[in-house]
Structure 1
Amino acid sequence: MAKDAYVHKVLPGKPGGPLLFVFHGTGGDENQFLPLGRDFVPAATVISPRGDVSEFGATRFFRRTGEGVYDMDDLARATGKMVGFVEAHAADAGASTVLGLGYSNGANILASALFARPSLFDAAVLMHPLIPFRPDISGSFAGRRVLVTAGRRDPIAPADLTEQLAAGLRGGGADVTVEWHEGGHELRANEIEMARSFLSEAAQRRPDPAVFRQSTDRTANGR
């Protein structure tokens, strides 16, 4: 059954309230972002799947053949599986809003699910994603909101690829905000606070697909 496709944990929230899916980074597990998810959206039911791929003992959501080199067949497999998992939980819960948050490898599988099914999430936070390929977006992101957070000096997810991802999402109709810090692949306070504010606001409203809001770029100092 798709709801049980992954080993996962659920923190129940308000009945009929938002669903927040959180996706760990390489080497993490289903516990990594559960507390953050609860903190960000207290009323949400937080669902955290564990990646089903092991890379020398480190858990991931899909295979790769080297740093920044993805096994595209396995990414396609993982994307279809994740889309089914999210859809099954959303349908069962009758959620008012479906939100997503992922870091690093978790951001990558979340982004790939977005490409495959733009209507899957009402809003999503991609923290330090790496998309080293031109995505094929299957539909329109109109009315959907995406926050991308990144480090200007990230050696794993280069800034130019972050900017290309944001541009691609905007080209598909998404309302995209980019929050930068001046460091590398680590999470910093400004992006944590931006994610908190973004998800809290997103949980309060259901996006109107007919409305397109102009996307914005933000830097760590607000420019």
Structure 2
Amino acid sequence: MSRDSYQHFARTPAAGAPLVFTFHGTGGDEHQFTGLVHQILPQAGIVSPRGDVSEHGANRFFRRTGEGVYDMADLALRTRKMTDFIRAHKAENPDTPIYGLGYSNGANILASVLFDAPKLFDRAVLMHPLIPWTPAPNPALRGRKILVTAGRRDPICPLPLTEALASYLEGQGAAVERVLHDGGHEVRQPEIDAITAFLADG
């Protein structure tokens, strides 16, 4: 069943509150961002899947053959699986705002779902994403609210690729906010502040 196709943490939203999907980074798990979401939106529901690909014991959402080199066939397969999982949980929460938040590998699977099914999410946070290809044009991204955060000196997700992703999304008509800090791949307080403002502005 699609709703249980991943091991996951789930909490039902209070009436009128959003449902937030969170996607961990490589080596994380379904609990990586539940505390942050609860801090920002105490009444929100949460669905947080655990990546089902193991890279030397580290949880991931899709395979890669090297740093920044993705197994694109596997990514396509995993994107369809994740899209079905999200749709199943969304169907159980009709008329509920749906938000997404992903970091690193989690941001990449979230972005891949957005490329294929933009209308699943009302707003999305992509933290330190790395999309090393140019996605196909998708006018259905128009009006999607997306926050992109990154470090200017990130050795894993180079700034030019972050900027290229944000520019692509803007080119499709998405409402994109960009927040950069002067560090690397770590999450810093300016990002947390921006995420808080972005998600709480419902």
TM-score tier by shorter-chain length is over 0.9
* Structure 1: tracts of 5 or more residues without a match: 205-223
Q: Name 1:168's counterpart in structure 2.
A: 168
Counterparts of 1:6 and 1:157 in 2: how far apart (Å)? Answer: 26
Counterparts of 1:197 and 1:120 in 2: how far apart (Å)? Answer: 21
1:48–1:137 distance in 2 versus 1, CA, 3 Å: farther
Q: Name 2:19's counterpart in structure 1.
A: 19
SS for the counterpart of 2:48 is: strand
Counterparts of 1:104 and 1:95 in 2: how far apart (Å)? Answer: 29
Q: Name 1:30's counterpart in structure 2.
A: 30
**Match status 1:105 vs 2:98:** no
Contact 2:138 2:172 (8 Å CA) reproduced: no
Matches within 5 A, 1:197-208: 197-201=197-201, 204=202
Counterparts of 1:83 and 1:180 in 2: how far apart (Å)? Answer: 28
Cα deviation, residue 136, structure 1? 2.2
Cα deviation, residue 166, structure 1? 0.3
Q: Name 1:79's counterpart in structure 2.
A: 79
Contact 2:8 2:48 (8 Å CA) reproduced: yes
Counterparts of 2:90 and 2:120 in 1: how far apart (Å)? Answer: 9
Structure 1: 4+ residue segments shifted above 6 A: none
Contact 1:101 1:107 (8 Å CA) reproduced: yes
Counterpart of 2:70, as a letter, is Y
**Match status 1:62 vs 2:55:** no
Contact 2:21 2:101 (8 Å CA) reproduced: yes
SS for the counterpart of 1:198 is: helix
Q: Name 1:141's counterpart in structure 2.
A: 141
Contact 1:18 1:95 (8 Å CA) reproduced: no
Task: Give the root-mean-square deviation of aligned CA atoms.
Answer: 1.1
Cα deviation, residue 11, structure 1? 2.4
- Identity over the aligned pairs, expressed in percent? 57
Q: Name 2:185's counterpart in structure 1.
A: 185
* Structure 2: tracts of 5 or more residues without a match: none
Counterparts of 2:31 and 2:103 in 1: how far apart (Å)? Answer: 13
Cα deviation, residue 141, structure 1? 1.5
Cα deviation, residue 16, structure 1? 4.9
How many residues in Structure 1 have an aligned counterpart in Structure 2? 202
TM-score by length of structure 2 reads 0.97
Provide, for residues 48-78 of structure 1, a one-character-per-residue CA deviation record: whole Å limited to 9, x for no partner: 0000100000000000000000000010011
Cα deviation, residue 138, structure 1? 4.2
Cα deviation, residue 13, structure 1? 2.4
Provide, for residues 62-120 of structure 1, a one-character-per-residue CA deviation record: whole Å limited to 9, x for no partner: 00000000000010011001111111101111142100000000000000000011111
Counterpart of 2:37, as a letter, is G
SS for the counterpart of 1:93 is: coil
Counterpart of 2:110, as a letter, is L
Q: Name 2:53's counterpart in structure 1.
A: 53
Cα deviation, residue 15, structure 1? 3.3
Q: Name 2:92's counterpart in structure 1.
A: 92
Cα deviation, residue 39, structure 1? 1.3
